[in-house]
Amino acid sequence: MHPVDWAVVVVYLVWIVYDGLRRSKGTDKVDGYFLANRSLPWWAVGLSVMATQMSAVTLVGTTGQAYATGLRFIQLYFGLPLAMVILSLTVVPFFTRARVYTAYEYLERRFDVRTRSLASFLFLVGRAFSLGVTLAAPSVVMSAILGWTLPVTVLVISVPMILYTTIGGVQAVAWTDVKQMFVVVGGMSAAVAVLLYGILHSVSLGDALHLAGATGRLKAIDFRFDPRETYTFWSGMIGGLFLMLSYFGCDQSQVQRYLTAKSIDEARHSLLMSAFVKIPLQLLILTSGVLVFVFYLFQTPPMLFNQTYDAQVAASPAAGEYAALEKDFNAAIDARRAASGRGERSAFLESDAHVRDVRAKAAAVVRRVTGDQRYNDVNYVFPTFITTRMPIGLVGLMIAAIFAAAMSASGGELNALATATIIDFYRRHFVTQASEGHYLTVSKLATLFWGLFACVVAMYSANQGSLVEVVNRYGSFFYGSLLGVFMLAILTTRATARGAFWGVISGMVVVLTVAFSPWTRDIAFLWHNLIGALVVFVVGMAISMCEPLPASAQAVAGGSRSGQ
């Protein structure tokens, strides 16, 4: 990168760490460290909610996904507005009035301590691995730019975030999230402007959209009901609804955000912000990926965007085969460019299919030579465009935007992991009576531990395919079962502790069986959320009906519902 771009990145990193540390005031007690003394305004909480969800995985993975398949990924979020309305009317006032630190504290009041501990454990496992993927995304970018090893890039990116999160707690996380959301939106808007400028030099906007539409990349809605298809209207409205209910209603990294709000109304407003803003923002990012595809119709792209193994392949016995593929690829690109310029649809589609076929063969050669069967190309598309096609200064801004997205999402998740660890396990089971200073110290140590753990996970997750799918797939193993146990706790007074506990166990077993069984593993991961929630609820109720309901459980459940 140019020195000007490095200056932009360095200034950004210094500024964000300084600002995060400056926000550490008022975090000398557990309530301030984990919940910012419940004092944040709704708009700051709302931006933090979106920032925690919109990680660098979104910028790197979603743009690459759109480059390859178009806008259809947007269907994942079709259930989001309804989920936000449901949660703002139910869970938000429920947890706010309960005055809890974690969502799982209530499960002990409603059921028992083992149900609480099991739910919190599932959150810790699922979120820790997802956090690793979140950190892997910007590491992919920096590895491609600098030629550094993945472990080095993971540490370089993670250390600033771990530093201000460990020292400043949730207040540092929330206020840096606010600033970083503006950096992300500004960076993506700049990328779209550069893409449009480049495209309009070769073709009109209408013709550009026509070319994208000819390949199916502008088809945003698929009404087929096929459980094996990942992104359809029905998987988004049903599976996506349950995913969003689980994520925003049962995942501590999101629950903790709106627990920091000043009041119930402000917490509601923070969630409703996502209902109205998330889909347009996601469309901006997906459109960027589609525009990258159109841009490379008139500019020569690399045969493979992930060029990590180019030197190894060139020195292998397969070098001649790979060189022949490159010659074939360049000819196919020329044919596609010519067909694009003439507006010949059939010739364009034929040459585009040829381009994709050559790329697939080249990727197969790389896998055969290197033995890396997880080798993928999709996560390198947008980083390659940034570093090779954007002007000086804007490259630094985009790298800063990716850093911003990674830090905002990772900081929130890291703080939530520490909260669940200390509140649900350390303070509940091990050291039940200690000073505020003691709990604050171990909270910071827990934050540091989970940060280092996520770094290790990140080193192994960068080549598992589209990162945005990987992170949602990880989450879908756990989210349905977590939603199911909260459905038992909130929607019925008849559920018992034994029913809830074994319901969660059953839900996890069924979801993992569906995900990995050779007979059902083709079912799209979005449906895992629905399956898990229904299994937990049905099994939990079936077991509960076979035993008497303790009077204490009925009183807690009834009182909680009347308090809403």
CATH value at residue 475: 1.20.1730.10
pLDDT (tens digit per residue) in 24-75:
666 667 888 888 888 889 888 888 878 777 766 677 778 888 998 888 888 8
Cα(52)–Cα(424) distance, integer angstroms: 22
pLDDT (tens digit per residue) in 311-333:
888 889 999 999 999 999 999 99
Nearest Cα neighbor of 135 from 152, 113, 110 is 152
Q: What is the pLDDT of residue 419?
A: 92
End-to-end CA distance of the chain: 55
Looking at the fold, whether 335 and 440 belong to one and the same domain comes out as no
Percent of all residues in the chain with a pLDDT value above 70, rounded to a whole number: 92
Looking at the fold, whether 340 and 402 belong to one and the same domain comes out as no
Query: pLDDT at residue 507 above 90?
Result: yes
Residue that finishes a domain, picked among 375, 396, 426: 375
In sequence order, the 6+-apart residues with CB closer than 8 A to the CB of 393 are 4, 5, 8
Torsion on CA atoms 62, 67, 70, 72, rounded to nearest 10: -20
Residue 521 within a domain: yes
Mean pLDDT of the chain: 84
Looking at the fold, whether 115 and 60 belong to one and the same domain comes out as yes
**DSSP alpha helices (H): ranges in 393-545?**
394-420, 436-461, 467-491, 497-516, 526-544
- Phi and psi torsions of 261, nearest 5°: -70, 160
C-alpha distances in Å from residue 31, one per residue of 34, 117, 454, 503, 504: 6, 21, 25, 32, 30
Residue 23 within a domain: no
CB count, 10 Å around CB of 301? 21
The count of structural domains within the chain is: 2
Q: Is 258 exposed, middle or buried (0-12, 13-18, 19+ CB in 10 A)?
A: buried
Cα(378)–Cα(380) distance, integer angstroms: 5
Looking at the fold, whether 321 and 397 belong to one and the same domain comes out as no
Residue 302 within a domain: no
Q: Is 344 helix (H, G, I), strand (E, B) or coil?
A: coil
Location of structure tokens 């900081």: 411
- Phi and psi torsions of 79, nearest 5°: -85, -5
The helix (run of H) or strand (run of E) holding residue 92 is helix 91-98
Looking at the fold, whether 135 and 89 belong to one and the same domain comes out as yes
Looking at the fold, whether 208 and 329 belong to one and the same domain comes out as no
Cα(504)–Cα(45) distance, integer angstroms: 30
Looking at the fold, whether 415 and 315 belong to one and the same domain comes out as no
Looking at the fold, whether 263 and 313 belong to one and the same domain comes out as no
- Model pTM above 0.85: no
In sequence order, the 6+-apart residues with CB closer than 8 A to the CB of 173 are 20, 48, 164, 165, 408, 411, 412, 415
pLDDT band at 564 (very low <50, low <70, confident <90, very high): very low
Query: pLDDT at residue 513 above 70?
Result: yes
| Identity of residue 457 | V
Q: Which domain range does residue 363 map to? A: 307-375
Residue 381 within a domain: no
Cα(168)–Cα(173) distance, integer angstroms: 7
Looking at the fold, whether 399 and 368 belong to one and the same domain comes out as no
pLDDT band at 173 (very low <50, low <70, confident <90, very high): confident
Residue 19 within a domain: no
Looking at the fold, whether 469 and 354 belong to one and the same domain comes out as no
Looking at the fold, whether 60 and 184 belong to one and the same domain comes out as yes
Residue 487 within a domain: yes
Query: pLDDT at residue 430 above 80?
Result: yes
**One-character DSSP codes across 106-136:** HHHHHT-HHHHHHHHHHHHHHHHHHHHHHHH
Integer Rg of the chain from CA: 24
Looking at the fold, whether 169 and 274 belong to one and the same domain comes out as yes
The helix (run of H) or strand (run of E) holding residue 69 is helix 63-69
Percent of all residues in the chain with a pLDDT value above 90, rounded to a whole number: 26
Residue 24 within a domain: no
pLDDT band at 354 (very low <50, low <70, confident <90, very high): very high
